[in-house]
Chains A and B, each alone.
Chain A
Amino acid sequence: MQDIKNDMLTLGDVNFQSRLFTGTGKFASKKLIAPMLEASGSGMITVALRRIDPGQAKENILNYIPGSVTLLPNTSGARTASEAVRIARIAREGGCGKFIKIEVITDMQYLLPDNHETVKATEILARDGFVVLPYMMPDITVAKQLYDAGAAAVMPLGSPIGSNRGLEMEPVIKMIIEASKIPVVVDAGIGRPSQAAQAMEMGADAVLVNTAIATSCDPVLAGRAFSLAVKAGRMAYLSRMVEKKVYAEASSPLTGFLRK
């Protein structure tokens, strides 16, 4: 049996024991974030730079995130690559580390990422020394372009952000997982632990879950549930379970006759 304890995900120069990444948005109280992180074991949490308020200690979200957790500032609110680049640089100068989640959205109605601008921003920021995690619309060509641009991972969406609809983009995500030379983190749309498990079973390297945890009635418990599901899915993937089949199959089709 494989030793799951050594099954780390490395991004940049950081090893992550947990393959569940989380977010800071939509919580009823910022005070829920630390216990959620503890219960979920999540080692990285994303935070919108535009929402960080360094001026007021009580309101500064950064003061609610334990130091042991890696910060993943995101460029939420950016409409263009250049805006995303500016946000990333401000985040780094503000002491948020060198990880950056690129989020460029030009359509407020559907909130789908603009892949073109995302590739542009990735290229600039990767060259600039950032560990770039681009949030993207699942597209195999774009995933390759992001790799070429220097992304540390790609983050295709499972379904529209906040929709809880799970892996509606499953076929494309599967192809990306198959072809990608860098880790694949399924981001957005995962609304149930079972959907997180499904992504991990497919071979995703990690998932990022925010809305489903933050808007549940007990985010700490929900964080724990997602953590268990991600682990289960990962173990299932590593155990190399056989594929689903369309037809029933006897358990010993070749040697069954010997027992007749």
Chain B
Amino acid sequence: MSFMNIIKRFESFDFEEYFKSVTNSDIQKSLARDHLDPYDLLNLLSGKAQKFLEQMAQKAQKISLQYFGRTIVLYAPMYISDYCTNYCTYCGFNSLTRFKRTKLSLEEIDREAKAIHDMGICHILVLTGEAPAKTPLSYLEDAVGVLKKYFSSIALEMFPMEEDEYRTLKNAGADSLTVYQEVYDQKIYKDVHLAGRKKDYQYRLLTPERGAKAGFRAVNIGTLFGLGEPRSEAFLTAIHARYLEQKFPDVEVSLSLPRMTKAKGGIEPKHIIDDSSFVRFMLAWRLFMPRVGINISTRESENFRDKLIYLGATKYSAGSKTDVGGYALKADDSTVQFEVTDQRSVEKIARMIRQKGYQPVFKDWEII
């Protein structure tokens, strides 16, 4: 059985009707439980849970403290290629957006990596668009080989691959995989992925499983908030995470909450997720899955990120550049995948974390 079977089970579930039926008492009962089931999760994701936000936050903070302590792990993203054959209507790198595409040479990757390493970063997330002809496995393998010199943990956010291909990259030195389904609603998925290999919903959906089977020690998933109905998307993301936790007990599962910002050539978000809904989703996830990692990217504002430390976040990107060669090679006006809102340096973010009474952790893994 794969996660596709579970998605199918929810195809006929009337989310709207369920959310309408949730009562205050349902939410209180869910809040009082130690082990939450999927219905508890739905209750806490519902709009009515908004008035219980402080109680949710108090409980989420306690749980996070117990499992993660007063620590936030730092990482940075590194884009090595923006060639892409997909047409995703919401993405700044999509194949119809006209800009000068770049793929870094190994020597350029080395320079970028050194620049990021010199910022104090030990955990790297390496990204590409989906253009296997431009960035074949051999290139990615060599890229990982270069990155290994500078970083103690290498996470990949590329395009869905076969299990064997992931195994090759794992053997080259990568240890983690990030892949967002973008939108779990199959109809919307079809509407926003108009061309390219990414059109295949199921292949993408089963990517985290292929990564886990290949032996990655950590898998990070998420939905891009703004595309589908947010509560049901938040629900299916968490169900997916729990499925992975249970099926692959030796894999650390984490979640991200990217929400859409305007990218060059992209569409306006269909659903706007305000800060309090964002927090509600994050808290509901934490209560549903005490051990799950929660990553917060620089898409979010300084002020907002500062507050999320207390609410169950475990990992922050810092000093991020979302264009290819953005750290050491390029001018500031190059095409970005998404706009970075929190533009503080790694040092400033680390200082902020310390001021909040937390420890910024630069290294919590090493490939051995």
Seen from chain A, the residues whose Cβ lies within 8 Å of a Cβ on chain B are: 25-30, 48-53, 55-56, 59, 77, 79, 83, 86-87, 90, 106-111, 162-164, 211, 214-215
Contact = CB atoms under 8 A, between A and B. Distances in A.
Nearest to B117: A55
Contact of A51 (B66, B354, B358, B363): B363
A109 B70 contact: no
A27 B368 contact: no
B359 A53 contact: no
B interface, over-half SS? loop
A28 B245 contact: no
B291 A51 contact: no
A59 B66 contact: no
Q: What 4 A-B pairs have minimum CB-CB distances, sorted nearest first?
A: A26-B69, A28-B70, A107-B249, A53-B363
Contact of B365 (A30, A50, A110): A50
B306 interface: no
Interface in B331-352: none
Size category of the B interface is: 20 to 34
Contact of B359 (A27, A49, A55, A56): A27
A59 B365 contact: no
A59 B71 CA distance: 13
A215 B65 contact: yes
A87 B368 CA distance: 7
A90 B250 CA distance: 22
Given A86-B368, A109-B245, A214-B69, A51 B361 contact: yes
Contacts of A86: 368
A128 to B, nearest CB: 16
Interface in B43-73: 65-71
B356 to A, nearest CB: 9
Contacts of B120: 56, 59
A216 to B, nearest CB: 10
A116 B357 CA distance: 39
Interface of B: 65-71, 120, 122, 152, 217, 245-246, 249-253, 291, 354, 357-359, 361-366, 368
B251 A108 contact: yes
Nearest to A86: B368
B277 to A, nearest CB: 28
B66 A77 contact: no
B215 to A, nearest CB: 9
A26 B71 contact: yes
B250 A79 contact: yes
A28 B246 contact: no
A56 B362 contact: yes
B366 A28 contact: no
Contacts of B368: 50, 77, 83, 86-87, 90
A211 B365 contact: no
Nearest to A79: B250
Contact of A106 (B65, B67, B249, B354): B249
Contacts of A30: 359
Nearest to B364: A51
A211 B250 contact: no
A108 B252 contact: yes
A93 to B, nearest CB: 12
Contact of B354 (A29, A110, A111, A163): A29
B122 A108 contact: no
A50 B364 contact: yes
8 contacts: A50-B366, A86-B368, A108-B252, A109-B245, A109-B249, A211-B66, A215-B66, A215-B70
A58 to B, nearest CB: 9
Contacts of B246: 109
A111 B365 CA distance: 17
Given A28-B359, A90-B368, A111-B291, 14 more contacts: A26-B69, A27-B71, A30-B359, A50-B152, A50-B368, A51-B365, A52-B363, A53-B362, A53-B363, A55-B122, A59-B362, A79-B217, A109-B291, A211-B66
